[in-house]
């Protein structure tokens, strides 16, 4: 049976998912070897049960992010922090130094119900347990491919040339 | 002149008395990671990334400030050393605001490169997210305290090479920061000559040249030992 793969987009720019798409023809291998069960690239509303691998892009920066990542952790065997925002907080975390009130000060009436409540920004591993980290803004397609191959072959991922930033 | 014989990573090497472990290791192409050390400047042993195991010493010793001795046995790589180096690096990343993705020194930064070479793929301690200022008052250069690792290379090059001593460290412990003159805006400094040596030796994007794009913000440090050498000969 093919491993069940999910990809998630929390507070990030979607650049990591763009880099995933940059796998180009190797996407055919990914689709052959994995069953993609949840992703911004699919029209699936609810995070499914018994997911083998989840790539999580983005930092945890709202109450909704926090609820989502907790559900993802409960239902996923191997969770990968995918890209700098998930690994470090990165650009979303720039607001931590000025606080949420300063961010909301741009609104005449700060939104309360329509959008999820903002939180201080956390890297994913400071909210739930993370199994692997793949830094990069974004991680290169080669690095993403190596991580997915390694997890498929049940060995420790060893992507080369990985660095924070771009 | 006497010569010491010592062992680094199981290799027998010769060294002159007074040399440091780091200098001898480099002469023999043995890589030890460093951040605050720069050839041509005095050593301060501030960053601790060059920690090594010396037989007989219970604690780890910085290679940059530890002088060699006859019969010394040094290890530059071990599980324990790797653990310490990684921990130090994580603390450096957590202490201030190092967002490589939006830094002018992305791709030319010693801190960023060390994370890659030491295999640091995440930071286990909470980020401090301190609110720090940027001094952009100088006409050509700027200082972003968010990216400073307090290596004091700028302080040393300004004092020891340029002879201006514009930079110094104010405050103590976690409250330490780099100041120009008596904590005046850099642009109003009466001692700064505008030579830019501090910018060149800064290992991160803390000191940078205004108007430079990321691809252009390469730094050159080779002038430091060259100037030292030339001045030594003149004396």
pLDDT values of chain A reduced to their tens digit, one per residue, 166 residues: 899 999 999 999 999 999 999 999 999 999 999 999 999 999 999 999 999 999 999 999 999 999 999 999 999 999 999 999 999 999 999 999 999 999 999 989 888 778 888 999 999 999 999 999 999 999 999 999 999 999 999 999 999 989 999 9
Q: What is the ipTM of this complex?
A: 0.94
Question: What pLDDT is stored for residue B137 in this prediction?
Answer: 98
The residue-averaged pLDDT of B140-150 equals: 98
Q: Who among B107, B112, B121 is closest to A133 (CB)?
A: B121
Adjacent-strand bridge partners of B145:
none
Shared-domain flag, residues B67 and B156: no
Contacts of A97 in chain B (CB under 8 A): 97, 129-132
- CATH code of A4-152, in short, is 3.40.50.700
**Domain CATH code at residue B52:** 3.10.20.740
Which of B48, B77, B106 corresponds to the end of one domain? B77
Tell me which residue of A31, A39, A71 sits closest to A55, measured CA to CA: A39
Shared-domain flag, residues B60 and B109: no
Shared-domain flag, residues B39 and B125: no
Which of B53, B77, B101 corresponds to the end of one domain? B77
Shared-domain flag, residues B130 and B217: yes
Shared-domain flag, residues B95 and B169: yes
Q: What is the pTM of this model?
A: 0.95
Contacts of A69 (CB under 8 A, 6+ apart): A8, A10, A56, A60, A124, A127, A128
How far apart CA B200 and CA A138 sit, in angstroms, is: 28
Inter-residue contact B48 to B37 (CB < 8 Å): no
Shared-domain flag, residues B108 and B222: yes
Question: What pLDDT is stored for residue B1 in this prediction?
Answer: 65
Q: Name the pairing type of β-strands B73-75 and B167-170.
A: unpaired
Q: Are A164 and B112 in contact (CB < 8 Å)?
A: yes
Categorize the per-residue pLDDT at B170 as very low, low, confident or very high, splitting at 50, 70 and 90: very high
Which of B49, B77, B105 corresponds to the end of one domain? B77
Inter-residue contact B226 to B185 (CB < 8 Å): no
Contacts of A133 in chain B (CB under 8 A): 121-122
Report residue A90 as tokens: 């990165």
Q: Are A91 and B115 in contact (CB < 8 Å)?
A: no
Shared-domain flag, residues B60 and B89: no
Shared-domain flag, residues B61 and B91: no
pLDDT value at B235 more than 70: no
Question: What pLDDT is stored for residue B12 in this prediction?
Answer: 97
Q: Who among B97, B109, B122 is closest to A97 (CB)?
A: B97
Question: What pLDDT is stored for residue B145 in this prediction?
Answer: 98
Q: Which of A82, A127, A164, A166 to mutate to test the interface with B (most CBs of B within 10 A)?
A: A164
Contacts of B103 in chain A (CB under 8 A): 165
Tell me which residue of B205, B216, B202 sits closest to B100, measured CA to CA: B205
Q: Would an 8 Å CB–CB cutoff place A103 in contact with chain B? A: no
**How near does any CA of chain B get to the CA of A88, in Å?**
7
**How near does any CA of chain B get to the CA of A166, in Å?**
6
Shared-domain flag, residues B108 and B34: no
Shared-domain flag, residues B64 and B91: no
**How near does any CA of chain B get to the CA of A59, in Å?**
13
CA distance to B112, B180, B208, per residue, from B116 (Å)? 7, 32, 22
Q: Which residues of B108-127 are buried (b: 16+ CB within 10 A; e: fewer)?
A: bbbbbbbbeebebbbbeeeb
pLDDT value at B43 more than 70: yes
**How near does any CA of chain A get to the CA of B73, in Å?**
32
- Domain residue spans of chain A: 4-152
pLDDT value at B116 more than 60: yes
The residue-averaged pLDDT of B204-232 equals: 92
**Total count of domains within chain B:** 2
Question: What pLDDT is stored for residue B232 in this prediction?
Answer: 80
What value does the mean pLDDT of chain B take? Answer: 96
Shared-domain flag, residues B13 and B73: yes
Q: Who among A81, A98, A165 is closest to B112 (CB)?
A: A165
Angle CA B229–B231–B235, to nearest 5 = 120
Contacts of A84 in chain B (CB under 8 A): 99-101
pLDDT value at B23 more than 90: yes
Q: Which residue of B has its CA nearest to A95?
A: B129
Report residue B49 as tokens: 């990334």
pLDDT value at B57 more than 80: yes
H-state helical runs in chain B: 21-27, 79-95, 110-117, 153-156, 197-201, 223-234
**Domain CATH code at residue B126:** 3.30.70.20
Shared-domain flag, residues B118 and B213: yes
Residue-range definition of the domain harbouring residue B70 = 4-77
How far apart CA B220 and CA B203 sit, in angstroms, is: 10
**How near does any CA of chain B get to the CA of A34, in Å?**
25
């Amino acid at each position: 049976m093919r491993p069940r793969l999910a990809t998630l987009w929390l507070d990030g720019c979607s650049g990591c998912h763009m880099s995933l798409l940059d796998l180009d023809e190797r996407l055919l291998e990914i689709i052959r070897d994995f069953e993609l069960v949840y992703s911004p690239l699919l029209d699936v509303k609810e995070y499914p049960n018994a997911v083998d691998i989840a790539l999580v892009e983005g930092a945890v920066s709202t109450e909704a992010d926090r609820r989502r990542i907790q559900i993802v952790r409960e239902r996923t065997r191997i969770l990968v922090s995918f890209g700098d925002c998930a690994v470090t907080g990165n650009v979303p975390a720039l607001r931590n130094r000025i606080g949420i009130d300063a961010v909301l000060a741009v609104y005449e009436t700060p939104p309360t119900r329509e959008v999820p409540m903002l939180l201080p920004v956390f890297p994913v591993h400071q909210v739930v347990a993370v199994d692997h980290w793949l830094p990069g803004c974004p991680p290169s397609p080669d690095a993403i491919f190596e991580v997915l191959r390694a997890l498929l072959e049940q060995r420790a991922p060893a992507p080369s040339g990985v660095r924070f930033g771009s | 002149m006497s010569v010491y014989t010592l062992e680094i990573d199981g290799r027998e090497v010769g060294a002159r008395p007074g040399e440091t472990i780091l200098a001898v290791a480099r002469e023999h192409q043995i890589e030890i990671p460093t951040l605050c050390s720069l050839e041509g400047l005095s050593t301060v042993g501030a960053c601790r990334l060059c920690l090594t195991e010396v037989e007989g010493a219970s604690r780890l010793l910085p290679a940059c400030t530890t002088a060699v001795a006859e019969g010394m046995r040094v290890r530059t790589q071990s599980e324990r050393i790797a653990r310490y180096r990684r921990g130090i690096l994580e603390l450096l990343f957590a202490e201030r605001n190092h967002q490589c993705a939006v830094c002018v020194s992305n791709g030319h930064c010693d801190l960023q490169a060390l994370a890659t070479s030491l295999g640091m793929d995440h930071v286990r301690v909470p980020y401090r997210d301190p609110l720090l200022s940027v001094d952009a008052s100088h006409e050509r250069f700027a200082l972003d305290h968010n990216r400073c690792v307090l290596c004091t290379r700028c302080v040393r090059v300004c004092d020891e090479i340029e002879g201006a001593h514009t930079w110094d460290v104010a405050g103590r412990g976690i409250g330490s920061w780099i100041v120009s003159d008596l904590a005046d805006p850099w642009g109003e400094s009466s001692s700064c000559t505008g030579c830019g040596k501090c910018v060149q030796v800064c290992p991160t994007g803390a000191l940078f040249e205004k108007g430079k794009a990321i691809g252009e913000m390469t730094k050159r440090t080779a002038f430091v030992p060259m100037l030292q050498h030339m001045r030594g000969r003149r004396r």
